Structure 1
Amino acid sequence: MDPTVLVAGETLVDFLPATETPLADTDEFSRQPGGAPANVAVRLAQLDRRPWFWTRVGADPFGDFLADALADRGVPERFVERDPDAETTLAFVSGDPEEGPRFTFYRDGTADTRFESGRVPDETLADVEWVVVGSVLLASSPSREAIHDLVERANEAGCTVVFDLNARPELWHDADFESEVRRLLPAVDVLKTSHEDLEPAGFDGSTIDAVAPRLHELGPHTVFLTLGEAGAAAAATDDAPWGPEEAVHEGYAVDAVDTTGAGDAFTAGVVDALAAGERSLAAVLDRGNAVAAASTTRAGGMAELPDPDSVL
């Protein structure tokens, strides 16, 4: 059976420091596959909901590494593109405990800035029910236009569009983050975000009651707001198949080893629950938080879930 979910976005290589030191003082790194949409696609595959994943990496050794990583984790290769004229994006993560995680990207003209409109055919969009996109590709042209084209055609095909908002100010050189986010929101059905990601887009407020009404006015009928260790909240209008409803979930306490990609795991859990037909936002939040919590018990944004049955 062909997938009913399509995820679109970047796949990149994360270089994680072996010690908690600034990049200038770090000599050893571990290489890990990364990229928020890639993490979402892999988590969906681990939850037995294999998605199509439209991504673009270079025809270089790092692209080989990422293509193999996706295939090894059950992601179909059909829309995993190899760009013969561009390199794969790299990200180096700072381990400075005083500053918290910081990313240094090597992404000037790399493969994931070169998505081309129309690469996902209308026939595929007619067959899938859910299209999940991130915000990083909106920072660069022509990938920006490719994502808008995909979302527009997904709307026409009757797909539910999920927007996973991930603010990376250091990547926005030739476009305005707030303008591009607000440009896409009218075509979005479900928005997953956090206070930290909303603030650069001009939305103040750290509670679902403070931000959801303004976001609903711009397009999304459902908003999921992650709250870190406090869990997550959601609000839906009567335009949603599962609305109107509001819900809050306090999350699960676990012995976390690595929180990398926990938000992406939450997104995957939410999409999996909704795609399975769950219509209770409380239950959807429970599912998203369970997958996110399980993902933190092993290192890496794509590490195998310790016990998939515990979150099924």
Structure 2
Amino acid sequence: MDPSVLVAGETLVDFLPESDRPLESTERFARQPGGAPANVAVRLAQLDHTPWFWTRVGADPFGEFLAGVLADRGLPDRFVERDPSAKTTLAFVSGDPSSGPRFTFYRDGTADTRFRPGRVPDEALDAVEWVVVGSVLLASSPSREAVHDLVERAETRDCTVVFDLNARPELWPDADFEAETRRLLPSVDVVKASPEDLGPAGFDADAADDAALLDAVAPELHDLGPHTVFLTLGDRGAAASATAAAPWGADDATHDGYRVDAVDTTGAGDAFTAGAVAALVEGEDDLESVLARANAVAAASTMRAGGMAELPDPESVR
């Protein structure tokens, strides 16, 4: 059976330091596959909702490594493109992975800046019900136009469009993050963000507590287009808001999350997105239950190193 979900976006290589030294004095790194949309796609496959994944890597050793990882994780290769004249994006991780990593990207003219409109045909979009995109591709052209083309065609086919608002200021030297993300929001049904993502997008993320934050940003996001908003709050759990336009109805919900011994929080937000999408695909219409499922996927994902580790699986989520 063909997938009901299509995920689109970057796949890259994360280099994790083998010590807690600053990057300039780090001698050894562990290579890990990464990229927020790639993490989401892999997590969905682990949760028994294998999606189509449209991505673009270089026709270089790192690209071959990533394509092999995606295949090993069970993702079909139909939309895994290899760019013959561009390199694969690299990211070096610093800081404490268990509490919040920082990234240094090598992404000037790399393969994931060179997506082209129309590479996912209409017949593929006709067959799916969900389309998940991230904001990183909006930082450069022609990938920006490719995302808008995909979302516009998905919208005309009544697909539910999920947008992961992922602020990486260092990736936006020549484009306006706030303007580009707000340009896409009117075509989006579900948006997921963290407080760190909201400020660069022009939203007031300075509320003193989580309930006030949801009250402050959800109405504005709803007014821009999305009927459902998910806010991830790190070790404080998550919150959600939906209007009457949502298939699951108007609702507000919070969930405190789960206490685990976190090894690496890289990709926890991506795991949350996958958990939320999986719950909604399965027909869950209670937002608190969706949050509980998504938080469980995120918590389980932090118990191994890397954004595509073997956890979570359905049993660890249960």
Regarding TM over 0.5, the answer is yes
Question: Partner residue of 1:284?
Answer: 290
- Note if 1:127 corresponds to 2:127: yes
Residues 62-77 of structure 1: pairs in structure 2 closer than 5 A: 62-77=62-77
Matched-pair contact (CA < 8 Å) for 1:6–1:131: yes
Q: TM-score, normalised by structure 2?
A: 0.96
- Note if 1:175 corresponds to 2:175: yes
Q: Distance in 2 between matches of 1:311 and 1:240?
A: 26
Matched-pair contact (CA < 8 Å) for 1:298–1:306: no
Deviation per CA, 1:162-184, whole angstroms, max 9, x where unpaired?
A: 00010000000121000001000
Q: Distance in 2 between matches of 1:87 and 1:310?
A: 36
- Deviation, 1:93, is 1.2
Deviation per CA, 1:177-196, whole angstroms, max 9, x where unpaired?
A: 00001000000000000110
Q: Which amino acid aligns with 1:265?
A: A
Deviation per CA, 1:17-72, whole angstroms, max 9, x where unpaired?
A: 11111111011000000000000000000001000000000000000000001000
Matched-pair contact (CA < 8 Å) for 1:59–1:83: yes
Divergent runs of 4+, >3 A: none
With over 3 angstroms needed to count, the CA separation of the structure-2 counterparts of 1:100 and 1:125, relative to structure 1, is closer
Question: Partner residue of 2:39?
Answer: 39
Q: Distance in 1 between matches of 2:24 and 2:314?
A: 39
- Note if 1:203 corresponds to 2:203: yes
Question: Partner residue of 1:153?
Answer: 153
With over 3 angstroms needed to count, the CA separation of the structure-2 counterparts of 1:233 and 1:306, relative to structure 1, is closer
Q: Which amino acid aligns with 1:225?
A: L
Question: Partner residue of 1:298?
Answer: 304
Matched-pair contact (CA < 8 Å) for 2:164–2:191: yes
Deviation per CA, 1:134-162, whole angstroms, max 9, x where unpaired?
A: 00000000000000000000001110000
Percent identity (aligned): 78
Q: Distance in 1 between matches of 2:19 and 2:33?
A: 19
Question: Partner residue of 1:233?
Answer: 239
Residues 22-37 of structure 1: pairs in structure 2 closer than 5 A: 22-37=22-37
Question: Partner residue of 1:111?
Answer: 111
- Deviation, 1:306, is 5.4
Deviation per CA, 1:190-228, whole angstroms, max 9, x where unpaired?
A: 000011001001101342111100100000000000111
Secondary structure at 1:214 match in 2: helix
Unaligned runs of 5+ in 1: none
Q: Distance in 2 between matches of 1:96 and 1:228?
A: 14
Q: Which amino acid aligns with 1:214?
A: E
Q: Which amino acid aligns with 2:15?
A: F
Residues 191-270 of structure 1: pairs in structure 2 closer than 5 A: 191-205=191-205, 206=207, 207-270=213-276
Q: Give the total of aligned pairs.
A: 311
Q: Distance in 1 between matches of 2:20 and 2:3?
A: 40
In angstroms, what is the RMSD of aligned CA positions? 1.3
- Note if 1:309 corresponds to 2:277: no
With over 3 angstroms needed to count, the CA separation of the structure-2 counterparts of 1:306 and 1:142, relative to structure 1, is closer
Question: Partner residue of 1:53?
Answer: 53
